[in-house]
Structure 1
Amino acid sequence: MTARIYQPAKTATQSASARTKQWVLEFEPETPREIDPLMGWTSSSDMKSQVRLRFGDKDEAIAYAQKHGLAYRVEEPKAHVRRIQSYADNFRSTRLGQWTH
């Protein structure tokens, strides 16, 4: 069973960076989810898929996985580069695209 160590991204409804500084260790599912024929609910017999451990930094999560003999893979967060733009840039004469309402 492989453990996945990653830093979660913030949701679209968050404006702050709550819970994005922590690192998460969770297990990959061993068996696929099944649909219950009677109720139609999705279920799994894999109990480790319900475990999600949070750590303060990446090194703590890696140390935990090594201490317990877990195979793991680390997923680094993707850097998001945002270009700062002013409102006046929408109306400049050298704008590449057309301005529409």
Structure 2
Amino acid sequence: MSARIYQRPKNAMQSGKALLDQWVLEFQPAEAKKPDPLMGWAGSGDMKQQLQLRFNSADEAKAYATRYGIDAEIHATPPRRLKIQAYADNFR
């Protein structure tokens, strides 16, 4: 049973930064998804794919994973770089 721990990225379609400080623990899929014969929707018997645990820090998430014997890998968040630009720069 393996999982990944990451910090939620900012939505590109919105300017808000709510819930960006949370860390998420997601389980890796144990089996491939297959189409449902009746509806054609993708699905699998792996129920852990639907589980998403949220923590306040990466250390809390890692401690939870080690407590329950989950092999977790932490994906570091790249630093945010702001591109400071004025409206007048469009006309240079």
Same fold (TM over 0.5): yes
1:7 Cα deviation after fit = 0.4
Match of 1:71 in 2: 71
1:70 Cα deviation after fit = 0.7
In 1, the alpha carbon distance for the partners of 2:39 and 2:59 equals: 43
Q: Secondary structure at the match of 1:62?
A: helix
Identity %: 51
1:80 Cα deviation after fit = 2.9
The CA deviation string for residues 51-78 of structure 1, in whole angstroms up to 9 with x for no partner, is 1100011110000001111101000112
Match of 1:37 in 2: 37
The alignment of Structure 1 onto Structure 2 pairs a total of residues equal to 92
Match of 1:52 in 2: 52
Q: Secondary structure at the match of 1:72?
A: strand
- Choose 1 or 2 for highest CA Rg: 1
In 2, the alpha carbon distance for the partners of 1:39 and 1:15 equals: 37
Q: Structure 1 stretches (4+) deviating beyond 6 angstroms?
A: none
1:82 Cα deviation after fit = 2.0
Match of 1:16 in 2: 16
1:11 Cα deviation after fit = 1.7
Match of 1:82 in 2: 82
TM-score by length of 1: 0.83
Match of 1:28 in 2: 28
Gaps of 5+ in 2: none
